[in-house]
């Protein structure tokens, strides 16, 4: 991480670490901002932190995160720098819809933080992880975007379907990296 970018990220982190912009702040243990290398060639944008992420304070550290790490390792093979964040940085515990998704108001309240983080990361490719992040991430100039199935959804699939779903994610990321980086 360059000194300038590190300073930018630290300012960003300090700005948002005590965020009170939406009702999700009442449920969280930690604000979950990001993990990975900044700047990044690829930015993975998930939906919202889960229980593990809320405790640790970093995105994608639970079972779904371990699966995403596997997908990234298989598809990128260490060739590119990447970072991870979510559309919202607080767990939507007891606040989201029946699927555990954050309410639209929370997503919109967290959008300035997400756009600021994207600017700091300077990715050439954004991989949306799950339908919600794909739906709510705005189009951005000069940044390619693809979507993959959320690893948590893959883990809920029948065991006979998981391998194919994982392979599809690996191929999608691999192909996008080859095409856009």
What pTM did the predictor assign?
0.94
Q: Can you give the CATH number for the domain in which 7 is found? A: 3.40.470.10
- Number of domains into which the chain is organized: 1
pLDDT in tens, 38-95: 999 999 999 999 999 999 999 999 999 999 999 999 999 999 999 999 999 999 987 6
Confidence of residue 97 (pLDDT cuts 50, 70, 90): low
Stretch (H or E) spanning 110: helix 104-121
In 3-state terms, what secondary structure has residue 34? coil
- Region 27-32: mean pLDDT is 94
pLDDT reading at 159 higher than 90: yes
Question: 26: which DSSP letter?
Answer: G
Q: Which domain covers residue 88, as residue numbers?
A: 3-180
Q: Are 32 and 84 in contact (CB under 8 A)?
A: no
pLDDT in tens, 110-158: 999 999 999 999 999 999 999 999 999 888 888 999 999 999 999 999 9
Higher per-residue pLDDT: 98 or 13 = 13
- Among 49, 39, 45, 50, smallest CA distance to 9 is for 39
pLDDT reading at 29 higher than 60: yes
pLDDT reading at 98 higher than 60: no
Higher per-residue pLDDT: 32 or 138 = 32
* Per-residue pLDDT at 6: 75
How many angstroms separate the CA atoms of 2 and 8, rounded? Answer: 10
- Region 7-15: mean pLDDT is 94
Q: Are 56 and 158 in contact (CB under 8 A)?
A: no
pLDDT in tens, 162-181: 999 999 999 999 999 999 99
């Amino acid at each position: 991480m360059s000194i300038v970018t590190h300073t930018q990220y630290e300012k960003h982190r300090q700005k948002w670490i005590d965020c009170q912009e939406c009702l999700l702040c009442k449920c969280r243990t930690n604000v979950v901002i990001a993990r990975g290398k900044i700047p990044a060639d690829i930015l993975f944008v998930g939906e919202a932190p889960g229980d593990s992420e809320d405790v640790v304070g970093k995105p994608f550290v639970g079972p779904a995160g371990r699966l995403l790490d596997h997908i990234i390792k298989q598809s990128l093979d260490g060739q590119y720098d990447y970072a991870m964040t979510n559309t919202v940085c607080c767990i939507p515990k007891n606040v989201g819809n029946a699927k555990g998704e954050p309410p639209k108001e929370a997503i919109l309240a967290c959008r300035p933080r997400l756009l600021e983080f994207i600017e700091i990361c300077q990715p050439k490719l954004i991989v949306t992880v799950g339908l919600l992040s794909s739906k709510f991430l705005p189009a951005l100039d000069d940044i390619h975007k693809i979507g993959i199935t959320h690893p948590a959804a893959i883990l809920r699939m029948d065991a006979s379907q998981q391998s194919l779903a994982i392979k599809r994610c690996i191929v999608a990321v691999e192909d996008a990296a080859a095409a856009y980086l």
